[in-house]
Amino acid sequence: MSDLRLFITTTEKLSEVLLDLMTDAFEDDGYAIATMEMDEKRDIWEASLYIDFDEEDEMRARFAAVVAHQFPDATIEREVIPDVDWIAKSLEGLSPVRAGRFLVHGSHDRDKVHLNDIAIEIDAGQAFGTGHHGTTAGCLEVIETVMRARKVRNALDLGTGSGVLAIAARKLKPVPVLATDIDPIATRVAAENVKRNGIATGITTLTAPGFHSPAFATHGPFDLIIANILARPLIKMAPQLASHLAPGGSVILSGILASQRWKVLSAYNGQHLRHVRTIWRNGWVTIHLDRP
Ligand SMILES: C[S@@+](CC[C@H](N)C(=O)[O-])C[C@H]1O[C@@H](n2cnc3c(N)ncnc32)[C@H](O)[C@@H]1O
């Protein structure tokens, strides 16, 4: 388990350069690497390397050597990572989460919704997706950007979990949304959450592994495909996902660790999709691509 974080404070652009250098140097040794936005307005980012206490001297020297050429003036700072009680932490994940105009909140926080919020009510339960995870929040942010900027006539939320992203898309624009999950419990929870959010029609929930159902052909091709799963299945399903994307369509991928970003990007570039933007949150990335 990592106990210590060594990090360099930088800007968004330079954090990407640092991430590449760090990935090349440390990924094969199994070290966790992350870039995090600390202050959006002032463009302050941190590029971090997670290590054990007893290797601090050695790893600090390696880190300094890796960045020395391109960042000769970089200061390597350190932070001790406190022990976290993850069970307590997950139960505590009940405060509302803001991502763009979306506010994802539990039923006990209805009074926290402001006039201009697009509120999504999800209680922590048996399916993933209360908005607290960096991947969900990243997807919400990109959904808003895409649906405002592009002509989206229908959407697919693959790996819907609690249904949070499908609900978000439908609340932004009254387009048909197909929400699927490999797990029948998730599909049931998603359907309940759709109703609870006052959406009577427009979202179809379906249990299916990957693209294995004729429903994808019936409902597709899609102008927007959102898939917050994990890097490995996303890489594997790149050809199928691309084949269900309409011309000019957009794709939002998440569940990807920062260190896996290039592998996912190259799988989707291989399907002639173009990288538009990456959002980094707590070591996870959300990738927005489109079909030119
Ligand atoms: C990280 S959760 C994402 C939930 C929600 N979309 C969100 O963004 O918060 C991933 C979901 O994908 C589902 N999943 C995993 N592999 C899948 C597959 N091959 N096909 C469909 N769903 C899958 C899981 O059951 C889980 O509910």
Can you tell me which atom of ligand 1 is nearest the CA of 181?
Answer: 22
Nearest-angstrom CA–CA distance, 168 and 41: 25
| Helix segments in 106-206, DSSP class H | 134-149, 164-172, 184-196
Q: Which two three-digit tokens encode residue 125? A: 């339960």
Nearest CA to ligand 1 atom 25: 183
Query: How would you label 256-278 residue by residue, b for 16+ Cβ within 10 Å and e otherwise?
Result: bbbbbbeebbebbeebebeebeb
pLDDT tens readout for residues 115-165: 899 999 998 766 676 767 788 999 999 999 999 999 999 999 999 999 999
Domain 126-290 belongs to what topology? Rossmann fold (3.40.50)
Which pLDDT score, from 0 to 100, does residue 237 have?
95
Intervals of CATH 3.30.70 along the chain: 4-80
The finding on whether 143 has its CB within 6 A of some atom of ligand 1 is: no
Nearest CA to ligand 1 atom 14: 159
The finding on whether 15 has its CB within 6 A of some atom of ligand 1 is: no
- What is the CA(158)–ligand 1 centre distance, in A? 7
Intervals of CATH 3.40.50.150 along the chain: 126-290
Asked whether residue 167 carries a pLDDT value surpassing 50, the answer given is yes
Nearest-angstrom CA–CA distance, 186 and 177: 16
Nearest-angstrom CA–CA distance, 156 and 219: 9
Helices then strands, counting H and E runs in the chain, come out as: 10, 14
Query: Cβ distance 66 to 82 under 8 Å?
Result: no
The CATH class for the domain spanning 4-80 reads alpha beta
pTM of the model: 0.73
- What is the CA(274)–ligand 1 centre distance, in A? 23
